[in-house]
Copies of this chain bind each other. A is one copy, B any other.
Amino acid sequence: MTVLGDDQQYHAAVIELVGVLAIGELMAFQRTAADAALAPDLADQAALARMADAEYRHFLALAERIEQLGGDPFVVMAPFQASLAEFHAHTAPSDWLEGLVKAYVGDGIATDFYVEIAAYVDPQTRALVEQVCLDMGYAEFVVDRVRAAIIADPKIGGRLALWGRRLVGEALSQAQRVAAEHDGLSSLLVGGVERPGADLAEIGRMLARLTESHTKRMTALGLAA
Protein backbone atom coordinates (compact mmCIF):
# COMPACT_ATOMS: atom_id res chain seq x y z
CA MET A 1 0.00 0.00 0.00
CA THR A 2 2.89 2.32 -0.73
CA VAL A 3 1.80 3.38 -4.20
CA LEU A 4 1.32 6.96 -3.01
CA GLY A 5 3.90 7.05 -0.23
CA ASP A 6 3.33 6.88 3.52
CA ASP A 7 0.77 9.63 4.06
CA GLN A 8 -2.29 7.53 4.98
CA GLN A 9 -4.73 10.42 4.97
CA TYR A 10 -3.55 11.57 1.57
CA HIS A 11 -3.74 8.01 0.22
CA ALA A 12 -7.33 7.66 1.42
CA ALA A 13 -8.23 11.03 -0.06
CA VAL A 14 -6.92 10.08 -3.51
CA ILE A 15 -8.93 6.85 -3.40
CA GLU A 16 -12.01 8.88 -2.40
CA LEU A 17 -11.53 11.20 -5.35
CA VAL A 18 -11.34 8.29 -7.78
CA GLY A 19 -14.33 6.71 -6.01
CA VAL A 20 -16.63 9.70 -6.36
CA LEU A 21 -15.67 9.97 -10.01
CA ALA A 22 -16.24 6.22 -10.54
CA ILE A 23 -19.74 6.20 -9.08
CA GLY A 24 -20.47 9.39 -10.98
CA GLU A 25 -19.63 7.62 -14.24
CA LEU A 26 -21.59 4.48 -13.31
CA MET A 27 -24.70 6.54 -12.54
CA ALA A 28 -24.16 8.75 -15.58
CA PHE A 29 -24.05 5.57 -17.67
CA GLN A 30 -27.44 4.48 -16.31
CA ARG A 31 -28.99 7.94 -16.82
CA THR A 32 -27.62 8.44 -20.33
CA ALA A 33 -28.73 4.98 -21.44
CA ALA A 34 -32.21 5.52 -20.01
CA ASP A 35 -32.45 9.04 -21.51
CA ALA A 36 -31.79 7.50 -24.93
CA ALA A 37 -35.44 6.40 -24.84
CA LEU A 38 -36.36 10.12 -25.08
CA ALA A 39 -34.47 10.53 -28.37
CA PRO A 40 -36.61 11.51 -31.35
CA ASP A 41 -35.14 8.87 -33.69
CA LEU A 42 -33.02 5.72 -33.72
CA ALA A 43 -29.84 7.47 -34.90
CA ASP A 44 -29.99 9.80 -31.87
CA GLN A 45 -30.77 6.82 -29.62
CA ALA A 46 -27.64 5.13 -30.94
CA ALA A 47 -25.60 8.32 -30.41
CA LEU A 48 -26.68 8.42 -26.76
CA ALA A 49 -25.93 4.73 -26.39
CA ARG A 50 -22.39 5.47 -27.60
CA MET A 51 -22.00 8.18 -24.94
CA ALA A 52 -23.32 5.83 -22.26
CA ASP A 53 -20.85 3.20 -23.39
CA ALA A 54 -17.96 5.67 -23.01
CA GLU A 55 -19.16 6.41 -19.45
CA TYR A 56 -19.19 2.70 -18.64
CA ARG A 57 -15.61 2.38 -19.91
CA HIS A 58 -14.58 5.31 -17.68
CA PHE A 59 -16.17 3.57 -14.72
CA LEU A 60 -14.18 0.39 -15.46
CA ALA A 61 -10.88 2.30 -15.70
CA LEU A 62 -11.55 4.18 -12.45
CA ALA A 63 -12.61 1.03 -10.59
CA GLU A 64 -9.39 -0.61 -11.73
CA ARG A 65 -7.34 2.35 -10.41
CA ILE A 66 -9.07 2.04 -7.02
CA GLU A 67 -7.99 -1.60 -6.90
CA GLN A 68 -4.43 -0.65 -7.87
CA LEU A 69 -4.46 1.76 -4.93
CA GLY A 70 -5.54 -1.07 -2.64
CA GLY A 71 -9.21 -0.13 -2.32
CA ASP A 72 -12.45 -2.06 -2.96
CA PRO A 73 -14.29 -0.03 -5.61
CA PHE A 74 -17.76 -0.72 -4.23
CA VAL A 75 -16.79 0.13 -0.65
CA VAL A 76 -15.14 3.35 -1.80
CA MET A 77 -18.05 4.35 -4.04
CA ALA A 78 -20.90 3.59 -1.62
CA PRO A 79 -20.67 6.73 0.58
CA PHE A 80 -21.29 8.94 -2.46
CA GLN A 81 -24.32 7.07 -3.75
CA ALA A 82 -26.96 9.03 -1.83
CA SER A 83 -25.69 12.47 -2.94
CA LEU A 84 -25.52 11.46 -6.57
CA ALA A 85 -28.89 9.73 -6.52
CA GLU A 86 -30.38 12.89 -5.02
CA PHE A 87 -28.76 15.04 -7.71
CA HIS A 88 -30.23 12.84 -10.45
CA ALA A 89 -33.65 12.69 -8.76
CA HIS A 90 -33.72 16.51 -8.55
CA THR A 91 -32.62 16.94 -12.14
CA ALA A 92 -34.59 14.28 -14.05
CA PRO A 93 -34.97 15.76 -17.55
CA SER A 94 -38.55 16.14 -18.70
CA ASP A 95 -37.62 15.83 -22.37
CA TRP A 96 -34.85 15.04 -24.81
CA LEU A 97 -33.39 18.59 -24.92
CA GLU A 98 -33.22 18.90 -21.14
CA GLY A 99 -31.41 15.56 -21.10
CA LEU A 100 -28.86 16.81 -23.63
CA VAL A 101 -28.25 20.06 -21.74
CA LYS A 102 -27.86 18.11 -18.51
CA ALA A 103 -25.30 15.78 -20.10
CA TYR A 104 -23.29 18.65 -21.57
CA VAL A 105 -23.56 21.35 -18.91
CA GLY A 106 -23.80 19.15 -15.81
CA ASP A 107 -21.04 16.75 -16.79
CA GLY A 108 -19.00 19.72 -18.00
CA ILE A 109 -18.94 21.38 -14.59
CA ALA A 110 -18.30 18.11 -12.79
CA THR A 111 -15.39 17.12 -15.00
CA ASP A 112 -13.81 20.59 -14.91
CA PHE A 113 -13.89 20.32 -11.15
CA TYR A 114 -12.31 16.85 -11.12
CA VAL A 115 -9.54 18.00 -13.45
CA GLU A 116 -8.81 20.95 -11.11
CA ILE A 117 -8.57 18.66 -8.09
CA ALA A 118 -6.49 16.15 -10.04
CA ALA A 119 -3.68 18.73 -10.08
CA TYR A 120 -3.13 17.74 -6.44
CA VAL A 121 -2.82 13.96 -6.82
CA ASP A 122 -0.14 11.55 -8.07
CA PRO A 123 0.74 11.72 -11.80
CA GLN A 124 -0.78 8.34 -12.71
CA THR A 125 -4.14 9.06 -11.09
CA ARG A 126 -4.06 12.57 -12.54
CA ALA A 127 -3.48 11.21 -16.06
CA LEU A 128 -6.43 8.83 -15.68
CA VAL A 129 -8.77 11.52 -14.33
CA GLU A 130 -7.81 13.86 -17.16
CA GLN A 131 -8.22 11.15 -19.77
CA VAL A 132 -11.68 10.21 -18.44
CA CYS A 133 -12.81 13.82 -18.13
CA LEU A 134 -11.59 14.98 -21.52
CA ASP A 135 -13.15 12.01 -23.34
CA MET A 136 -16.70 13.27 -23.04
CA GLY A 137 -17.08 13.05 -26.78
CA TYR A 138 -20.56 14.44 -27.16
CA ALA A 139 -20.01 18.21 -27.15
CA GLU A 140 -20.48 18.59 -30.88
CA PHE A 141 -23.56 16.37 -31.00
CA VAL A 142 -25.31 18.20 -28.13
CA VAL A 143 -24.43 21.69 -29.42
CA ASP A 144 -25.75 20.77 -32.86
CA ARG A 145 -29.08 19.39 -31.56
CA VAL A 146 -29.74 22.17 -29.03
CA ARG A 147 -28.91 25.04 -31.42
CA ALA A 148 -31.13 23.51 -34.10
CA ALA A 149 -34.02 23.25 -31.62
CA ILE A 150 -33.64 26.90 -30.56
CA ILE A 151 -33.56 28.07 -34.18
CA ALA A 152 -36.74 26.10 -34.84
CA ASP A 153 -38.46 27.55 -31.75
CA PRO A 154 -36.63 30.44 -30.00
CA LYS A 155 -38.85 30.16 -26.87
CA ILE A 156 -37.01 26.92 -26.07
CA GLY A 157 -33.86 28.95 -25.36
CA GLY A 158 -35.39 30.67 -22.34
CA ARG A 159 -36.63 27.42 -20.82
CA LEU A 160 -33.28 25.65 -21.34
CA ALA A 161 -31.32 28.61 -19.90
CA LEU A 162 -33.38 28.32 -16.70
CA TRP A 163 -32.78 24.57 -16.71
CA GLY A 164 -29.01 25.16 -17.02
CA ARG A 165 -29.06 27.46 -13.98
CA ARG A 166 -31.03 24.90 -12.01
CA LEU A 167 -28.48 22.21 -12.87
CA VAL A 168 -25.65 24.39 -11.56
CA GLY A 169 -27.54 25.10 -8.36
CA GLU A 170 -28.21 21.42 -7.69
CA ALA A 171 -24.63 20.46 -8.57
CA LEU A 172 -23.22 23.06 -6.14
CA SER A 173 -25.53 22.01 -3.35
CA GLN A 174 -24.57 18.32 -3.73
CA ALA A 175 -20.87 19.23 -4.06
CA GLN A 176 -21.06 21.14 -0.76
CA ARG A 177 -22.72 18.14 0.87
CA VAL A 178 -20.05 15.76 -0.44
CA ALA A 179 -17.24 18.09 0.70
CA ALA A 180 -18.79 18.48 4.15
CA GLU A 181 -19.23 14.73 4.61
CA HIS A 182 -15.82 13.73 3.23
CA ASP A 183 -12.94 15.64 4.79
CA GLY A 184 -10.42 13.78 2.67
CA LEU A 185 -11.56 15.35 -0.58
CA SER A 186 -11.27 18.88 0.81
CA SER A 187 -7.86 18.01 2.27
CA LEU A 188 -6.58 17.23 -1.24
CA LEU A 189 -7.29 20.82 -2.16
CA VAL A 190 -5.97 22.58 0.95
CA GLY A 191 -2.93 20.29 1.28
CA GLY A 192 -1.11 18.79 4.28
CA VAL A 193 2.03 19.29 6.31
CA GLU A 194 4.37 17.84 3.70
CA ARG A 195 2.22 18.48 0.70
CA PRO A 196 1.48 21.89 -0.82
CA GLY A 197 -2.18 22.69 -1.44
CA ALA A 198 -4.04 25.63 -2.88
CA ASP A 199 -4.11 28.93 -1.00
CA LEU A 200 -7.21 31.10 -0.91
CA ALA A 201 -6.12 33.10 -3.95
CA GLU A 202 -5.64 29.89 -5.96
CA ILE A 203 -9.07 28.59 -4.90
CA GLY A 204 -10.53 31.89 -6.06
CA ARG A 205 -8.83 31.53 -9.43
CA MET A 206 -10.08 27.95 -9.68
CA LEU A 207 -13.68 29.05 -9.12
CA ALA A 208 -13.22 31.78 -11.72
CA ARG A 209 -11.97 29.20 -14.22
CA LEU A 210 -14.92 26.88 -13.51
CA THR A 211 -17.41 29.73 -13.95
CA GLU A 212 -15.78 30.88 -17.16
CA SER A 213 -15.86 27.38 -18.69
CA HIS A 214 -19.50 26.98 -17.70
CA THR A 215 -20.39 30.30 -19.35
CA LYS A 216 -18.56 29.19 -22.51
CA ARG A 217 -20.60 25.99 -22.66
CA MET A 218 -23.90 27.82 -22.20
CA THR A 219 -22.88 30.28 -24.93
CA ALA A 220 -21.95 27.42 -27.26
CA LEU A 221 -25.48 26.09 -26.80
CA GLY A 222 -26.93 29.53 -27.54
CA LEU A 223 -28.12 29.95 -23.93
CA ALA A 224 -27.72 32.80 -21.43
CA ALA A 225 -25.64 31.54 -18.46
Contact = CB atoms under 8 A, between A and B. Distances in A.
Contact of A43 (B45, B46, B74): B74
Interface residues of A, number: 24
A16 to B, nearest CB: 15
A49 B26 contact: yes
Contacts of A138: none
A56 B53 contact: yes
A33 interface: yes
Given A33-B34, A34-B30, A34-B34, A74 B56 contact: no
A41 interface: yes
A172 interface: no
B59 A49 contact: yes
Closest 7 CB pairs of A and B: A33-B33, A34-B34, A42-B74, A43-B74, A53-B56, A30-B36, A30-B33
25 contacts: A23-B42, A26-B42, A26-B46, A26-B49, A29-B52, A30-B33, A30-B34, A30-B36, A30-B45, A33-B34, A33-B52, A34-B34, A34-B37, A42-B74, A42-B77, A42-B78, A42-B81, A43-B74, A46-B63, A46-B73, A49-B59, A52-B52, A52-B56, A53-B53, A53-B56
Interface of A: 23, 26, 29-30, 33-34, 36-37, 41-43, 45-46, 49, 52-53, 56, 59, 63, 73-74, 77-78, 81
